[in-house]
Structure 1
Amino acid sequence: MKNLLTCIVFLFFMAGLSGCSDGSEKSDHPSVVQGFLEIKDYDLNTQGPIVLSGLWKFTWLYWKSSGKESQNSHEIVSVPSSWNGRNGSRLGEGYGTYELTIKLDKNYGDLAFIIQEQSSSYFLYVDGKLLASCGEVDIPSGADITIFEVQPAWCNRFVKFSPQGEEIKVDMQIANKDHRLGGFWAPIRFGTASSLEKTWHAERFLDMFLAGGLFCIGLLHLIYAVVRRGESASMYFGLYCVIMAGRGLFSGTRIISEYLEFLKYHHYVRIEYITFYLAIPVFLSYILSVFPRELKRILVDLVWWIAIGACLVVLIFPVHIFTFTITIYYLVAFLAGTLGLFSLTKAALRRRKGALIILAGFVFVYAAMIHDILYATFYLDTGYFTNIGAFMFLVAQSVFLSIRSSDSLDRLLDLSRNLERRVEDRTKQLRNALRLIQNDLNVAREIQKGLLHLEDRMEKTVGQTKFRILHKPLAEVGGDLYDIVEFPDSRIRIFLADATGHGIQAALITILIRSVYEDLRMKEESPGKLLSEISSEFHGKYGNVSTFFSASILEISPDGKKLTLALAGSPPVLVQTKDEEHVIECENPLVGLLENFDFEDKEISLTQGFRILCFTDGLTESSRLPGDFYGIERVLAFLRTGDSKNLEELLGGIEEDLLKFLGSSEPKDDILVLGIEDQRK
């Protein structure tokens, strides 16, 4: 907490330094009264320059240097100000001459003026001689004094001159036809040439320094945002810094005009307006990205839409139209700034990390924005401070990043010191959890075996028919099951099923399958009817959870001469007799997929010594590479070459060949193979 308070005090100290200027320019200096300024109790050498603000003489529609006599009487107006609205109907378009007489009490040697841009062209005469100009003005010699042409420009000038006596006559002629506001809206600074030259260069250096610092830091944050996706706070902060850097170069001293001479008046106005319009929503977006719980996104989006609309107006319409948007946007900027201040205050009260530092920096941004609005509306004559406010926020952001980096480093050091212990503790937890899971799976396996009577490599003989089982579940429990039952009339019915999925989910489904099958297996006369009944039962009871499965039901007649079977979404059944081979394909849907589906029976004639292979898709769809499956052909080849082998050797050979085929790959499904062999000779 002590370090945090130190950082905040440092911010205010920096603000004091950045806001410092020659205090004599703004306090205790003589003011212009009735177009006259007397300097007798003020020393320009020791007390510094003064601002020529106050009450000047002003003559509307009078261009003194043209030599014409004025048709209007002079009036007393406040400088800086706009001439709009005076006399009830005066608009921004027009021209006029401002006059001032300066009375000196001693000889100061060379003197100077610093002249900021006026709206929107000006000519400065001192003792009747042209000292500085910006833009071009053409006043025709005709009788109509309202006809004139202006080529506007925005210029800042530093000009020296040598006074010819104790009195200095200053005439500022201003003309405007483009901007919504016209007049003497930026005060002139007056002082000795040496002191004003230092001020001139210091201000330009400050603008370049602030703009350069903001641009470099902004570019750094933008690169950081590109490298680390999802860092929206860095992106918005970088955009804000770049925007404010541009605004600092194109407003204030407008030092960029010396390097970009091709830019015209309307370019500068558009850039100044657009940077102001975009800075507000970008900064709000930064606050939203850092403290999303303290600021409503819908409010930020609303400010974005207003800013985008205002920027489109600036880009599309001429200067004398789009400059009217600024009056509305001043209100938007004030409300948005207040919203940001409220959100950051709320974040600080909630003790959000870094909120107090960011709030301290934002206070300068907010104060600078309010100051600039007052300056632009002629309530102050100090100049633009937005770039200073932005730089102070940059300092606050740097402090915030330093603290956050320090905290991250502390966490990293703590993690590295305790990493081994934490890994060991976590490993113990995982081992205990694995042990519990393994115990549960072992219990589940025994329960499944007990309920479903599933055994690997089991042999069973029913009458003259021998059965051999190869059962390899993918996990401790699986989704394949089988059943062999002999009817009182010596028919033998074989049932294979493969539940969708793997592991515990599939194992639970097999219990449902077994339950439904046992209820119906002795009631239905044929495999097809039995499958149809099971399918209807599953669709009605468990269709809402998509419980589908493939199944095969085979029935061997009492005399062993006929095989009746029905298949549902299962792999082919292979039948080998003395005379031929049968590959019985399945064309039916999965069990439980359709509500009422009639599974038809197929019949195959059997001979003595027949062999039948039934299996689930875990065998034929095993793959070592994508698209490279074990396939039905390999199983059929083993059946063809296995005449001299018993069932144990046949199924063992299939298992060995499958493992050889897979190589280093692991099976991806449960494997169930049921071999049937006739023992009659």
Structure 2
Amino acid sequence: MTVTAKRLFIFLLPVLLLLVSCTSQSPGAERQAPQAVMGVLDLTDWTIDRPIALDGEWAFYWHKLYDPEQLARELPDAYAKVPSAWNASADFERYGYATYSLIVKHDGQASDMELYIPSISTAYTIWVNGERVWDNGQAGTNEKSMDPHKEKRVLTVSSPAHELRLVVQVSNYMHPRSGITESMELGPVGTLSEEQLKQAAYDMFLTGGLCLIGLYHLGLFLMRRSDAAPLFFAVYCLVISLRSFLTGETVVYRFLPGVPWEAWVRAEYLCLVISVISFTLFLRRVYPKEMSDRIISVFIAFSVVYGGVIAVSKLRHFMFLLPYFQIVIVVAISYALFVFVLATIRRREGAAISVGGAFLLTLSVFNDVLYNQGLIHTGYMVPIGLLIFIISQSFILGMSYSKSFASSEDLAAKLRQLNSSLEEKVKERTLELEEANRWLEKQTLIDGLTGIANRTHFNAVFKRMMDAGQERSISLLVMDIDHFKCYNDTYGHLAGDECLKQVAGAIHNVAERSHGLAARYGGEEFIMIAEAGPEEAAELAEEVVSSIRALGIPHAASGAAPFVTLSCGVVSYTSRREAPASLAALYELADQALYRAKQQGRNGYVYEPAPLEQ
């Protein structure tokens, strides 16, 4: 392996690892999720424990903006494939408005879920189970009545029944790809919002990295203005950084909501034009003998003309012309590859590194062209390819400057070493932070010893049940392991911890079968809440006490039985909208019942029949 090849491998290895980690398939993706058929997605046999794409055939109503009530009385005009542009079918025009509808059937185990809404061109309103939950701009029946907007969202939706009914009104008179062209996803609470946060952080990392590299090379140019290569390279990095910021998780639309959507789109497209011009001029400075001035003039002329169209024409016009300009981009990248190969053959300094970086950049550009046309659904990869290419070019410029400034050779070597390990260090730190965040989240909701809900989680669930405002029968069970201190003194604290785990598991199983929630409330005390009336509550308490007996954990020091037993206090209450229950009051009654159970010899339960008076 040559010295140049070794440098290329060592320099690009951390970035290649980052690319693989970002594009690899998740471990849980081996099982193919169901697809919607004729407007219905059946997930009743599918556990929603991870995000699921709501892909397939959605009911489609062309040139109609139906709300859920109107939609229930009409038959669909067609069944549109999602994700896909509606104009993929010859039956529907590129510009117009329509309504999508999908019924998601699920097992009903999770009443609250998260819904990920991607960027939908270019304005839409979404209903969930008849409730209007989100407006992205203003959907309209013509270009004047609509207000375009671009923002990706994660919404928490409730589906207490076994169906989730989605209705999406979409209107588009500007973008060449109309309709739901990216997958909407449904997942457990916390999963999709966390993924969006990670993706936003990843976008900001790419944007910040490109911006810093651009500013660095701008500083190099200001210190040595005789060489314009760092200037063109800096402009290239900065405009790509801005474009990455505009095309990622749409964070900019939240930071600056007052800026019109049209202005952001023009800025995004102008960044693309400026990047082609600056990239071409940069290569001309680095490899003047390999580049043809005539070919460079052609690329710049096409870019300037398209930039002028972007500046003065309507959005729909210059967006429609984008595929043709993308052809220019592909040709320019292909020509750049030819230049790099030619420079490598002629043994120009750093040309081999440029070939490696340019090859990955070319792959990412082809990916983005296909993704923009809706032919693949991978996401934008140019920022990653650009980061690899830009780092490789930074390495080449660094080599050049190290020769130009012999007095700063040691400093330049340290800087290259720092740049080569930057990605790996950031990745390691990110993994540490993610692990710490996961640990903190777990500590917030789960008891560290027993693995069931903790007191904080239980209190939050109780409050949500009360805030729901529905009249329901609620039973609270307060439980305590009999003579647990004697158990610890006799068998030791390690055995006591194991006893707590087994008891917690048994209580959790009973709560799960009754669709309730069990938690460790402190020490050897446990608490359970379930939607159950008086008779059901008594049966539930008997089942809990019996399940602990059935564990058969020896307890020679117990005065109640030769094995571990449990005492339980039970209280029932019918909640009302005008008089929601107080957890403290219910707990006090249940605790009094627990005390009487202990007075009656333990290893049993006492039911508190009296209702709670507010």
Q: 2:378 aligns to what? A: 382
Deviates more, 1:200-209 or 1:53-62: 53-62
Counterparts of 1:23 and 1:371, CA distance in 2: 23
Paired residue for 1:259, among 255, 274, 290? 255
Q: 2:34 aligns to what? A: 30
Q: Deviations over 1:611-659 (max 9, x none)?
A: xxxxxxxxxxxxxxxxxxxxxxxxxxxxxxxxxxxxxxxxxxxxxxxxx
Q: 2:352 aligns to what? A: 356
Pairs within 5 Å for 1:428-447: none
Counterparts of 2:74 and 2:409, CA distance in 1: 82
SS at match of 2:79: strand
Q: 1:166 aligns to what? A: 162
Q: 1:207 aligns to what? A: 203
SS at match of 2:170: strand
Deviation at 1:22, TM superposition (A): 4.3
TM-score (norm 1): 0.55
Deviation at 1:332, TM superposition (A): 1.0
AA at the equivalent of 2:78: E
Paired residue for 1:300, among 266, 277, 296? 296
SS at match of 1:321: helix
AA at the equivalent of 1:320: R
Pairs within 5 Å for 1:92-241: 92-105=94-107, 107-138=109-140, 149-241=145-237
Cα 1:121–1:413 shift into 2, 3 Å = closer
SS at match of 2:67: helix
AA at the equivalent of 2:172: N
Pairs within 5 Å for 1:496-575: none
Counterparts of 1:82 and 1:108, CA distance in 2: 31
AA at the equivalent of 1:13: L
Does the alignment pair 1:77 with 2:80? yes
Q: What do you get for the CA RMSD once the two structures are aligned?
A: 2.8
AA at the equivalent of 1:86: S
SS at match of 1:393: helix
Identity level (%): 25
Counterparts of 1:104 and 1:358, CA distance in 2: 52
Q: 2:393 aligns to what? A: 397
SS at match of 1:224: helix
Cα 1:231–1:20 shift into 2, 3 Å = farther
Q: Deviations over 1:214-253 (max 9, x none)?
A: 1121012112112211322211211111011110111121
TM-score (norm 2): 0.61
Counterparts of 1:181 and 1:388, CA distance in 2: 24
- Conserved? CA contact 1:119–1:175, under 8 Å: yes
Deviation at 1:190, TM superposition (A): 2.1
Counterparts of 1:148 and 1:215, CA distance in 2: 37
Question: Max radius of gyration: which structure?
Answer: 1
- Conserved? CA contact 1:25–1:50, under 8 Å: no
AA at the equivalent of 1:345: V
Q: 2:11 aligns to what? A: 7
Deviates more, 1:216-225 or 1:72-81: 72-81
Q: Deviations over 1:514-545 (max 9, x none)?
A: xxxxxxxxxxxxxxxxxxxxxxxxxxxxxxxx
Deviation at 1:26, TM superposition (A): 9.4
Paired residue for 2:326, among 326, 330, 333? 330
AA at the equivalent of 1:319: L
Unpaired stretches in structure 1, ≥5 consecutive residues: 140-145, 415-681
Cα 1:224–1:412 shift into 2, 3 Å = closer
Q: 1:512 aligns to what? A: none
Pairs within 5 Å for 1:41-56: 42-45=46-49, 48-56=50-58
Cα 1:21–1:281 shift into 2, 3 Å = farther
AA at the equivalent of 1:276: L
Does the alignment pair 1:17 with 2:54? no
Pairs within 5 Å for 1:243-322: 243-322=239-318
AA at the equivalent of 2:205: F
| Structure with the bigger percentage of strand | 1
- Conserved? CA contact 1:34–1:55, under 8 Å: yes
SS at match of 2:348: coil
| Structure with the bigger percentage of helix | 2
SS at match of 2:209: helix
Does the alignment pair 1:86 with 2:82? no
Cα 1:298–1:53 shift into 2, 3 Å = farther
Cα 1:305–1:112 shift into 2, 3 Å = same
- Conserved? CA contact 1:11–1:360, under 8 Å: no
Q: Deviations over 1:50-96 (max 9, x none)?
A: 332333221101222185467774212222222226345x3332111
- Conserved? CA contact 1:24–1:49, under 8 Å: no
Counterparts of 1:71 and 1:320, CA distance in 2: 32
Deviation at 1:409, TM superposition (A): 7.6
Counterparts of 1:312 and 1:388, CA distance in 2: 28
Counterparts of 2:31 and 2:289, CA distance in 1: 45
- Conserved? CA contact 2:128–2:165, under 8 Å: yes
Deviation at 1:189, TM superposition (A): 2.4
Deviation at 1:277, TM superposition (A): 2.2
Counterparts of 1:147 and 1:96, CA distance in 2: 14
Deviation at 1:309, TM superposition (A): 0.7
Deviation at 1:24, TM superposition (A): 4.9
SS at match of 1:125: strand
Counterparts of 1:27 and 1:251, CA distance in 2: 30
Paired residue for 2:368, among 353, 365, 372? 372
Deviation at 1:295, TM superposition (A): 2.2
Q: 1:635 aligns to what? A: none
Question: Aligned residues, how many?
Answer: 405
Q: Deviations over 1:184-212 (max 9, x none)?
A: 22221221121111101011111111111
AA at the equivalent of 1:119: S
Deviation at 1:308, TM superposition (A): 1.0
Counterparts of 1:27 and 1:281, CA distance in 2: 45
SS at match of 1:112: strand
Deviation at 1:398, TM superposition (A): 3.8
Counterparts of 2:27 and 2:391, CA distance in 1: 25
AA at the equivalent of 2:66: K
Cα 1:336–1:111 shift into 2, 3 Å = same
Deviation at 1:306, TM superposition (A): 0.7
SS at match of 1:137: coil
Deviation at 1:118, TM superposition (A): 1.3
AA at the equivalent of 1:80: P
AA at the equivalent of 2:325: Y
Deviation at 1:20, TM superposition (A): 4.7
- Conserved? CA contact 1:60–1:72, under 8 Å: no
Does the alignment pair 1:59 with 2:99? no
- Conserved? CA contact 1:364–1:393, under 8 Å: yes
- Conserved? CA contact 2:139–2:169, under 8 Å: no
Q: Deviations over 1:9-42 (max 9, x none)?
A: 4442232234457465698333333323233565
AA at the equivalent of 1:38: D
- Conserved? CA contact 1:116–1:186, under 8 Å: yes
Deviation at 1:289, TM superposition (A): 1.7
Q: Deviations over 1:117-174 (max 9, x none)?
A: 21110111111112222011346xxxxxx89821111121111112122221111210
Counterparts of 1:246 and 1:128, CA distance in 2: 39
